[in-house]
Structure 1
Amino acid sequence: MTSSPTRKTSAATTISPGGLDNMEIDEKLSKISLDVLKMFETTIRFLNESLDSYIHGKEAPAIDDDRVDRLERSVEKECLILVLKERPFSKDLRKVTGIFKLVEDIERLGDHAEDLSWTIARLAPYSRGVEIPSLQQEAKVAMSMVEDSYRSFAKGDDPLSLEVIKRDDVVDGLYLKALKEIPEFRDRYSLPDGFILYATLMAKYWERVADHASNIAEWVDYIETGCYKGEEIL
């Protein structure tokens, strides 16, 4: 059976092959985007709680990563339904595809918030009063990347997404510096080997947080321009 051609009902309204006009598709995309923002906001709150706990020596927060997982499944389902049933046009398809990919990284941020909470609880007995400047700075820059990747998605701000991507190199440098300083602080304060283990895990998790924020920013760049990592895709 030959598929029906695209129908144009007016200069402003186009019917997709699946039967929805562009306003209806925009409404569905807006709902999906709101769910992505909810997922993002939940993850940012978890990460900020972990950062605050580490910087100020507070009790490790309780992280409910299941909520992030549920939102991810919901967003992925809605994206698949929109693509398979409505077959949106290139710009809308680009946004759906970008969202489908970036929610994977948001979900991983939720996982790392849980990892950080676990690590903070175990690092605390070894690190009372011990501050590693490079590790704290790494965590703060990584957190700024997450928050700015959120803003770039929410506002469709492509220049901001590119700034986030560049900042990943800063975190990588701070991560390597922290790996060098952690044993030095252990020796300076005569701390047990457990300090090295958990401080190193902390540095690694924040480095991974930055990587996922950079990945999200790359997908925002794709949504806004059709280019992914400098290559035009759609």
Structure 2
Amino acid sequence: MIEHTVKAFDADIGQLRGLISQMGGLAEDAIAQAMLALQRVDRDHADRVRADDKAIDAIEAEVERLAVRIIALRAPMANDLREVVAALKIAGVVERIGDYAKNIAKRVPLIESEQRIEPVSTLPAMARMASEMVRDALDAFAARDADAAVRVCESDSALDDFYDSIFRTLVTYMVENPKTISQVAHLLFVAKNLERIGDHATNVAEMVYFAATGTQMAERERSARSL
């Protein structure tokens, strides 16, 4: 009976990890496709990104149902409980990452112009960096790898620096080309969304670290005490 219960629990946890991985893959693809729509100024492609967001929402709901069922039926303890709770929280964060990709897609019709806005070419590199952080954080969750989670948090400062650089570039371009103010303002919004995606990837990494070790990330604790 105990062996059967353990196998059933392991199967549930495996399913939970699989759903989180699936959500992450969809969120990464949403980021990439939203940026492609932005580069091409393609309304139809942007509309597909927005429509596809429903798939992420559906998986989040499935994660919630499964996590509640595991807690109610399996009564997990200690490490196992932390993993289930982390999965539940991570699903919510990944859903928000999908929302940021959808928000980027929403901006596409608002920047349509015959004039090519040169700074848009710098945004895909920032998007790739943010997307890599998401992937690395979710890989750390799948592997219960606390060290990998720490590395994700450490990479957030590089993304912040990238954002600061793009912000300055866009503001300078806007000042030098006043006719583009409205469109560049939307690009600033896109850059901020990418920066927030990185923040959420960091939040996932912090949850992974806690689930794996039972303690808060030391650097984050020091930062919290200094506030």
Equivalent residue, structure 2, for 1:192:
180
Q: Which amino acid aligns with 1:206?
A: L
Pairing partner for 1:53 from 9, 13, 37? 37
* CA shift in 2, pair 1:120/1:228, >3 Å: farther
Matched, 1:43 2:31: no
Q: Distance in 2 between matches of 1:85 and 1:222?
A: 23
Q: Give 5+ residue unaligned stretches, structure 1.
A: 1-7, 14-19
CA contact (8 A) 1:142 1:206 kept: yes
Give the C-alpha shift of residue 229 in structure 1.
3.1
Select the structure with the greater relative contact order (CA < 8 A; seq sep ≥ 6). Answer: 2
Q: Which amino acid aligns with 2:141?
A: F
Give the C-alpha shift of residue 99 in structure 1.
0.6
CA contact (8 A) 1:186 1:196 kept: yes
Give the C-alpha shift of residue 129 in structure 1.
4.9
Pairing partner for 2:196 from 205, 208, 213? 208
- RMSD, matched Cα: 2.3
Give the C-alpha shift of residue 78 in structure 1.
1.0
Give the C-alpha shift of residue 100 in structure 1.
1.0
CA contact (8 A) 2:31 2:127 kept: no
Equivalent residue, structure 2, for 1:112:
100
Runs of 4+ that moved beyond 6 A: none
Q: Which amino acid aligns with 1:166?
A: E
Pairing partner for 1:158 from 120, 126, 146? 146
Equivalent residue, structure 2, for 1:143:
131
CA contact (8 A) 1:126 1:194 kept: no
Q: Which amino acid aligns with 1:37?
A: S
Matched, 1:101 2:89: yes
Q: Give the greater-gyration-radius structure (CA).
A: 1
Give the C-alpha shift of residue 136 in structure 1.
4.2
Can you list the C-alpha shifts for 1:54-85, whole angstroms capped at 9, x where unaligned?
4x435243222111111111101111121123
CA contact (8 A) 1:134 1:174 kept: no
Pairing partner for 2:11 from 1, 9, 27? 27
**SS in structure 2 of the partner of residue 125 of structure 1:** coil
Whose helix fraction is larger, Structure 1's or Structure 2's? 2
Give the C-alpha shift of residue 190 in structure 1.
4.6
Q: Distance in 2 between matches of 1:163 and 1:210?
A: 13
Pairing partner for 1:176 from 164, 179, 192? 164
Q: 179-188 or 37-46: which moved more?
A: 179-188
* CA shift in 2, pair 1:132/1:43, >3 Å: closer
Q: 200-209 or 59-68: which moved more?
A: 59-68
Q: Distance in 2 between matches of 1:171 and 1:125?
A: 28
Q: Distance in 1 between matches of 2:87 and 2:66?
A: 11
Q: Give 5+ residue unaligned stretches, structure 2.
A: 222-227
* CA shift in 2, pair 1:72/1:126, >3 Å: farther
Can you list the C-alpha shifts for 1:170-220, whole angstroms capped at 9, x where unaligned?
222222222222121123345332123201111111111111111111111
Query: How many residues of Structure 1 are paired with residues of Structure 2 in the alignment?
Result: 214
Can you list the C-alpha shifts for 1:130-154, whole angstroms capped at 9, x where unaligned?
1356644432321221121222223
CA contact (8 A) 1:178 1:203 kept: yes
Q: Distance in 1 between matches of 2:146 and 2:105?
A: 32
Q: Distance in 2 between matches of 1:202 and 1:101?
A: 25
TM-score (norm 1): 0.81
